[in-house]
Amino acid sequence: MNRTARAVTAGALAITTLATLAAFSAVPATQAAEPKKPKPGTVTIYLTRHGETMLNTLERAQGWSDSPLTEEGRLSAEHLGAGLAESGVKFEAAYSADMVRHWETVSLALDELDAKDEATRDERLREISFGKFEGAKNMEMWAAIATELGYANVGELFSDPDFDFMEGLSAVARLSEGSGLVAETPEQVAARAVEALDDIAAKQAKHGGGEVLVVSSGITIMLALETLGADVSELTSGIENGAVSELVYRRGEWTIKTINDLSYVEAGSD
């Protein structure tokens, strides 16, 4: 091979080598090592009302006001946890509203479930604020609502088959205007509660799904359920203390499986 041919061959080899090296360098060093992300899984939320409180027994409006659980309330929270454990539920996470009654309930239930981690507090799960009626006697608040809505008295309001409970809550917000105290509308509460549930479910779905315990309050639970498509018209007495509503979240869509279910508390009390 003459000198010119050797030069051409060497040049071609050099170009081929450089091209090969360039091809390898174009691939990020970490690409092959990147772990596969888990597919979003199905999440089941056990949406639960807190146990009975002192203000419940005193029949006073308890929204952003707070009080501890009664002895009965603590027992029902323990029975809830025992019933859930007996059913074989394994919670991947737990959340509660940020007040004493919610935290006591979720903590006592988790103790019965031998959970290793504490619940996460989320203020978006708290009860509706009743404004100037916070801590007032329930009948005092409802008497004011009846007058605001044009009824002669509370008895006439409650006997009206067409009375809209949500309209009554909206009246509380109007009656509290100018008081300087926060009074929420049903729409505001529903928006924050569903936002919280969406966030909780989406986060758990990214970790493969599973069961999540969430403790909130009665009216907030009803508003969330209604917003997610449930029929709550039969809940004339509201959500019971310790009752569970099961919500299934998959790919951004919600399905309501049960509402106001006391079977876990009942099973745990046996």
- Which residues are marked as active site? 50, 127
- Say whether 114 sits in a helix, a strand or coil: coil
The length of the chain is: 270
54 is in an annotated binding site: yes
Question: How far apart (Å, rounded) are the C-alpha atoms in residues 69 and 164?
Answer: 30
Longest dimension (CA), the chain: 116
Name the nearest CA neighbour of 106 among 53, 66, 50: 50
Could you tell me the end-to-end alpha-carbon distance of the chain, in angstroms, rounded to an integer?
Answer: 97
101 is in an annotated binding site: yes
50 is in an annotated binding site: yes
At 26, list the tokens. 């174009």
Q: Is 238 exposed, middle or buried (0-12, 13-18, 19+ CB in 10 A)?
A: middle
Q: What percent of the chain is helix, strand and coil (3-state, nearest 5)?
A: 45, 15, 40
56 is in an annotated binding site: yes
CA 197 to each of CA 183, 253, 267: distance values in angstroms, whole numbers, following the listed order: 22, 12, 26
C-beta of residue 264 within 8 angstroms of C-beta of residue 88: no
Question: How far apart (Å, rounded) are the C-alpha atoms in residues 223 and 219?
Answer: 6
Question: How far apart (Å, rounded) are the C-alpha atoms in residues 70 and 62?
Answer: 14
Where is the binding site for substrate, in residues?
Answer: 49-56, 101
Which residues contribute to the annotated binding site?
Answer: 49-56, 101
